[in-house]
């Protein structure tokens, strides 16, 4: 029997390993935290052993069968009442069944997705048809909220990257907002990415209007790739196919800095990928499978003067060869 999970584990290294594992799975880990983790892991063999044990047990746990399926039925089943207690209380044959059946009705009202909130997880791409007929596709670890009530056509990109195919014929133009500005168009396709301090807009059709939050509205024609911040356009150039390659599951790099490539990979695997800062500017060119990040890392290792150290499935460090 396990002791109460609400109390810290008696073994200090094991408890620390648990808390590090919690942070590794957050999907948001700063470089300082990454360094602190490495220091902890290297400081004592008991730390590495405890961490390894959790990692192996996680690897052996039967979660993989459920990936790519709707999780609601799994969660509803797991959260079903335990008939065991009923069984203990009376030995009426199958007495517990009717009782648990009575509770099934409640399973339906889970506080699932708030309306208009769409998101993807690590290594997940998904498509939706919106109420106005537009088609939305989200890259991994992306999140949008939409307002499509009463003829409004608004969408806010909070995180990640999207492709929107805007349905023509709406009363009002479709408005897409990032932290830096607003894009509006009455039809056509566009790709929008929320970066750390700037947004990138790629216009597959056009023209459309872009208004940085603190700047003037400008018109962008079709086939452009535009980087903008809150005040102005920082960079504009003809788009290339690499910007939409993710839609088909590829990461296409054309002299792209390794730092950006690694950033993309981070959305496609749990845990951390540490990159030696000296390598971040290394130019990368090639076509890499997004859904197989292990293969992508192997390809990069063969191609560039780098060594990929795999301390665990959750911790990969890219260093100079």
Partner 1 sequence: MTVSGIGNREQIGQLFKLNYAWLCARVRSRLGCPHSAEDIAAETFARVLSLPDPSAFREPRALLTTIAQRVMYEGWRRRDLEQAYLEALRGVPEPLQPGPEEHLMLIESLVAIDQLFDGLPNQGKTVFLLNQIEGLTYIQISDRLGLSLGAIHKYMAQALRCVYQVCEP
If you search the block for the tokens 């290294």, which residue do you land on?
13
CB of 117 to partner 1, least distance (A): 7
Choose one: 3-11, 175-183, 277-285, 290-298; the region binding partner 1 (CB under 8 A): 3-11
Secondary structure in 3-state letters for 210-238: EEECCCCCEEECCCEEEEECCCCEEEEEE
30 binds partner 1 (CB under 8 A): no
Write the CA distances from 62 to 67, 131, 292, 314, integer angstroms.
Answer: 10, 37, 20, 18
Nearest-angstrom CA–CA distance, 238 and 220: 11
Residue 119 in the binding site for partner 1 (CB under 8 A): yes
Q: Does the protein bind partner 1 through residue 38 (CB under 8 A)?
A: no
> Any contact of residue 309 with partner 1 (CB under 8 A)?
no
Q: Is 321 one of the binding residues for partner 1 (CB under 8 A)?
A: no
Say how many residues touch partner 1, by CB under 8 A. 70
Distance CA(138)–CA(283), nearest Å, equals 27
Q: Does 90 bind partner 1 (CB under 8 A)?
A: no
Q: Indicate which single residue of 30, 32, 45, 61 sits in contact with partner 1 (rule: CB under 8 A).
A: 61
CA-wise closest residue to 269 among 141, 100, 77 = 141
**Residue for token pair 């490495």:** 38
Task: Decide if 74 contacts 62 (C-beta within 8 A).
Answer: no
CB of 136 to partner 1, least distance (A): 17
Q: Which of 80, 98, 149, 281 binds partner 1 (CB under 8 A)?
A: 80
* Cβ closest to partner 1, residue 80 vs residue 171: 80
Q: Does 245 help bind partner 1 (rule: CB under 8 A)? A: no
Positions 185 through 244 that interact with partner 1 (CB under 8 A): none
Q: Please tell me whether residue 249 binds partner 1 under the rule CB under 8 A.
A: no
Cis peptide before 207 (omega within 30 of 0): yes
Residue 116, CA distances (Å) to 121, 188, 284, 316 in order? 17, 21, 37, 36
Question: Does residue 21 interact with partner 1 by CB under 8 A?
Answer: yes
Give min distance, CB of 16 to partner 1, in A.
11
Q: Give 195-200 contacts, CB < 8 A, sequence gap 24+.
A: 197/229, 198/227, 198/228, 198/229, 198/234, 199/157, 199/227, 199/228, 199/229, 200/225, 200/226, 200/227, 200/228, 200/243
Q: How far is the CB of 57 from partner 1 (least distance, A)?
A: 5
Q: Please say which residue, 118 or 297, places its beta carbon nearer to partner 1.
A: 118
Judged by CB under 8 A, the residue of 215, 257, 259, 270 near partner 1 is 270
**∠ CA(150), CA(155), CA(161), 5° rounding?**
160
Interatomic CA distance for residues 138 and 111, integer angstroms: 22
For position 112 contacting partner 1 by CB under 8 A, the verdict is: yes
| Residue closer to partner 1, measured from CB, 60 or 321 | 60
Q: Give the Cα separation of 175 and 177 in Å (integer).
A: 7
User: 228 has which bridge partners?
Assistant: 199, 233
Point out which span in 67-75, 234-242, 251-259, 301-309 binds partner 1 (CB under 8 A).
Answer: 67-75
The reply on whether position 54 binds partner 1 by CB under 8 A is yes
Binding-site ranges for partner 1 (CB under 8 A): 2-6, 9, 14, 17-19, 21-22, 25-28, 50, 53-54, 56-58, 60-63, 65-67, 69-84, 87, 91, 93, 96-97, 100-101, 104, 107-108, 111-114, 117, 119, 121-124, 140-141, 143, 159, 270
């Amino acid at each position: 029997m396990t002791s109460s999970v609400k109390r810290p584990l008696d073994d200090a290294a094991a408890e620390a390993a648990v808390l590090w594992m919690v942070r590794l799975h957050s999907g948001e880990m700063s470089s300082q935290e990454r360094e602190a983790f490495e220091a902890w892991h290297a400081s004592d063999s008991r730390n590495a052993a405890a961490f390894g044990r959790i990692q192996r047990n996680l690897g052996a746990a039967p979660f993989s069968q459920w990936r790519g399926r709707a999780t609601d039925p799994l969660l509803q089943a797991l959260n079903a009442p335990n008939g065991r207690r009923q069984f203990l209380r009376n030995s009426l044959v199958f007495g517990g069944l009717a009782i648990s059946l009575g509770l099934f009705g409640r399973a339906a009202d889970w506080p699932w997705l708030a309306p208009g909130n769409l998101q993807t997880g690590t290594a997940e791409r998904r498509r939706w048809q919106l109420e106005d007929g537009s088609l939305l596709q989200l890259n991994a670890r992306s999140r949008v909220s939409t307002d499509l009530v009463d003829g409004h056509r608004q969408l806010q990109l909070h995180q990640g990257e999207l492709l929107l195919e805007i349905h023509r014929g709406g009363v009002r133009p479709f408005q897409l907002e990032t932290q830096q500005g607003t894009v509006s168009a009455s039809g056509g396709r566009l790709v929008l990415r929320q970066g750390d301090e700037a947004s990138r807009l790629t216009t597959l059709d056009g023209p459309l209007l872009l208004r940085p939050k603190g700047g003037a509205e400008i018109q962008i024609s079709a086939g452009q790739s535009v980087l903008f911040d809150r005040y102005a356009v920082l960079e504009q150039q003809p788009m290339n196919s690499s910007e939409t390659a993710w839609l088909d599951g590829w990461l296409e790099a054309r002299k792209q800095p390794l730092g950006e490539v690694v950033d993309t990979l981070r959305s496609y695997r749990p845990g951390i990928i540490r990159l030696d800062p000296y390598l971040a500017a290394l130019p990368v060119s090639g076509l890499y499978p997004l859904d197989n990040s292990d293969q992508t890392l192997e390809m990069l290792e063969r191609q560039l003067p780098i060594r990929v150290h795999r301390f665990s499935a959750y911790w990969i460090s890219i260093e100079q060869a």
